[in-house]
Structure 1
């Protein structure tokens, strides 16, 4: 029971991290110091997505699920939890790269605006 609860909590934290990677740049608009936390998270999220790295949170969750007597799963967090919500078909590497580029473009736009606004205020 405790391992299952821990694994479920980790899933929620994992999802929160993904949302932070996607939308954390928007908080930088309000609190510029948030970029000190967001930029490393963004770099890690892009690396995992674009380089097809294994996320350690997925392995940790699978170990907890196994300890709880449940079966772990193949693939990563996005493929297991997020992708089935969006598309019922499997995730391809090309689509993963596209999603990674979309995340990068969104954040480049946000940070471009932050830089533009900072220059406008200081100049």
Structure 2
């Protein structure tokens, strides 16, 4: 039971990371157009770029995501062998996250997504220093 719960937690974290990558790009593009200053935050943007960068590199070198491996090992340790044994949460999170496809499809998809993230660095530039008007607000 504990292994199954741990596997569900690993899966939820994995889905959270995928959501961060996808929603991070979407919010950066929308926020850049809408003037949201937080989408230019250097820590958010560096974390976002690093996350998709790791995914792209893993795809190119043929490394299986460690979260996938860890979840699988935990499920096996918990006696699970297939989707029929998964909890409700695990079943649906897995169905959203995983699908069958040729390796080149994943490499291409991850790479194009990574290039889109890099493109936002030019179209929605990162704010590397604090806001310029911060000093004037302190004086007022």
Same fold, judged at TM 0.5 (above): yes
Task: Name which structure has the greater RCO, CA cutoff 8 Å, separation 6+.
Answer: 2
Q: Does 1:36 align with 2:46?
A: yes
Alpha-carbon RMSD across the aligned residues, in angstroms, is 3.0
- With the length of structure 2 as denominator, give the TM-score of the two structures: 0.62
Residue 14 of structure 1, CA deviation: 0.5
Cα distance change, pair 117–56 in 1 and its aligned pair in 2 (3 A):
closer
For 1:1-123, list aligned pairs within 5 A. 1-25=1-25, 26=28, 29-71=39-81, 81=95, 82-84=97-99, 90-115=100-125
Q: Deviations over 1:49-80 (max 9, x none)?
A: 2332121111211111111111279xxxxxx7
Q: Deviations over 1:19-78 (max 9, x none)?
A: 2233334286253321232232121111122332121111211111111111279xxxxx
Q: Which runs of 5+ in 2 are unaligned?
A: 32-37, 84-93, 133-140
Runs of 4+ in structure 1 deviating by more than 6 angstroms, as ranges, are none
- With the length of structure 1 as denominator, give the TM-score of the two structures: 0.69
Matched-pair contact (CA < 8 Å) for 1:7–1:64? yes
Cα distance change, pair 64–72 in 1 and its aligned pair in 2 (3 A):
farther
Residue 116 of structure 1, CA deviation: 8.2
State how far apart, in whole Å, the 1-side matches of 2:69 and 2:127 are.
Answer: 41
User: Greater CA radius of gyration, 1 or 2?
Assistant: 2
Q: Aligned residue pairs: how many?
A: 109
Residue 97 of structure 1, CA deviation: 1.9
